[in-house]
Amino acid sequence: MAIDKPNHETMLQCFEWYLPESHNLWRWLSSQAPSVAHAGFTTAWLPPAYKGQAGDSDVGYGVYDMYDLGEFDAKGSVPTKYGSRMEYLQAIRAMQGNGVRVFADIVFNHRMGADGTEPVRTHEVNVDDRTRSDSTVVERTLNTVYDFPERGGVYSTFKWNWSDFTGTDYTTDDGTTGIMRFDGKQWSDNVSHERGNFDYIMGDDVDVNEPEVARELTDWGIWYTTTTGVDGFRLDAVKSIDAGFFAPWLRTMQRYGNHPGIAVGEYWSGDASELTSYLHDCNHCMMLFDVALHFRFEQASKNPEGFDLRGLAADTLYEREPTYACTFVDNHDTQPGQALESWVQPWFKPLAYACILLRDNVLPCVFFGDYYGVPHDLIPPMRFLPHMVWIRAHLLGDQVEAQPGDTAHSLCWVVEGNHPVCVVLNTGSSEVHRQVRNAALASHTLIDVCHPDAPATTDTQGQGMMRCPPRSCAIYIDADDYGVMLEALSGTPAAGTVCA
């Protein structure tokens, strides 16, 4: 049977926190580019590619030198954790050559691992209310000089000092930690109001409102975009960066770069009102990850008896601004052991992924650790996730019809098209049977991808009974489509073969 491919986007996050420090990710991604495209992914989100303070053991978020893509012998290594500059560029070309867009991870909020010290006048800040600070000026010797001696002015001669930052953190002799704001500097008002003002997160806090800094970040962006040819951006920690910065920056990248102005911002808040407010403040210049929906998934997975599935999408970005919602289940920050750990329980993951992949989401994101596993924590790849990605790419239509009879523990919908898909979710302790009726299902033999031993049939009106076991999901597709899918997925990578 011929399979038409609708234009449904799916992004693969191409890393998890505990990948080995083997300098191998870029080479591995180059080799996997054909299979990533074949699986149905249209976009690959690559981790930060520049040198971090911890050299080749840095995941990429402890930013030191954004011009060093694994080219200079700095911080103890030439390559980054993921490989060399040339290997990074080759990975991008390999993905794009197979029709997969590449999103670069951009971390503007802070710098870490300074090259030198200087005296700086500071004010101690109340860590629980950053709008309050001590009026007394204390002069300290701080690590705020970045002159990148190993790079020697290649690509940029810009050198950072305290005036390019707003503040930093400190640790006293007794282990007490705190935050300092530099004298004459103010936190930006156009940031999250968490703890009064959430401009500061970590390290030396970049002052994007300093004209010289804004110019340097723009110059770097032009260099980076033209050098790498990336198609879009994942923007880190936007809740702590002035909301007015990104719209002009993205417009400039659009003029000079090769991408169509696509960006997804990480604003870490479970409050959909905060997410929609930020979209308004930044003039809708980007999409945002739907953190609110992620937390709904976590809640449902940890308290299925007390969670009403009919409100699963309530107060989420998907509900309020669906065209600007990048939906996801988990990521590198939420996985076990991380600062924002909020891991969706394994039994619920198939249900959560069915919600983002087998509905009308604009750009769902699949986590590397769910697709390939997390050997560090003995977490295996999620069963049936490749099937869902394939179905989204090759079968899914555009019209979603909810079926009558939803309950607190059971949802059912049909996605209409030339290859109809019927999905049932069940968080209850007993098997459910859902009576379904939809003309697109007329006269079909349907196979449940997750439980293929019990086919369902529909009559000429598209009516049939669909079953779903306890705490599970059922994904019904046409029997002929099922056979095509199994053949297409026969080469899916096995657990334990990733980035060795």
Q: Looking at the annotation, which residues are catalytic?
A: 236, 266
Q: Which residues are annotated as a binding site?
A: 109, 199, 205, 207
Burial class (CB within 10 angstroms; exposed 0-12, middle 13-18, buried 19+) of 427: buried
Nearest Cα residue to 242 out of 265, 271, 219: 265
- Output the CA angle 111-115-120, nearest 5 degrees: 75
Binding residues for Ca(2+) are 109, 199, 205, 207
Q: Of 79, 77, 98, whose CA–CA distance to 30 is shortest? A: 98
Apex 177 CA angle, 132 and 160, nearest 5? 80
Nearest-angstrom CA–CA distance, 352 and 382 = 12
Q: Say how far apart CA 292 and CA 290 lie, in whole Å.
A: 5
Phi, psi values for residue 128, rounded to 5°: -90, -15
Q: Tell me the CA distances in angstroms from 18 to 55, 70, 376, 438, one per residue in order.
A: 15, 19, 6, 45
Q: What is the DSSP letter of 113?
A: S
Q: Which amino acid is at 425?
A: L
Task: In whole angstroms, give the CA distance from residue 276 to residue 67.
Answer: 33
Q: What is the spatial distance between Cα 403 and Cα 433, in angstroms, rounded to a whole number?
A: 12
Cβ atoms 397, 360 nearer than 8 A = no
Cα–Cα distance, 344 to 355 (Å, whole number): 14
3 state SS for 59-77:
CCCCEEECCCCCCCCECCE
Sheet holding 456-457, edge to edge: 399-402, 410-416, 421-426, 472-478, 445-448, 456-457
Return the half-sphere exposure (C-beta side, CA atoms, 13 A cut-off) of residue 302: 9
Q: What is the identity of the amino acid at 231?
A: D
Distance CA 177, CA 115 (A): 22
Contacts (Cβ under 8 Å, ≥6 apart) of 54: 62, 75, 113
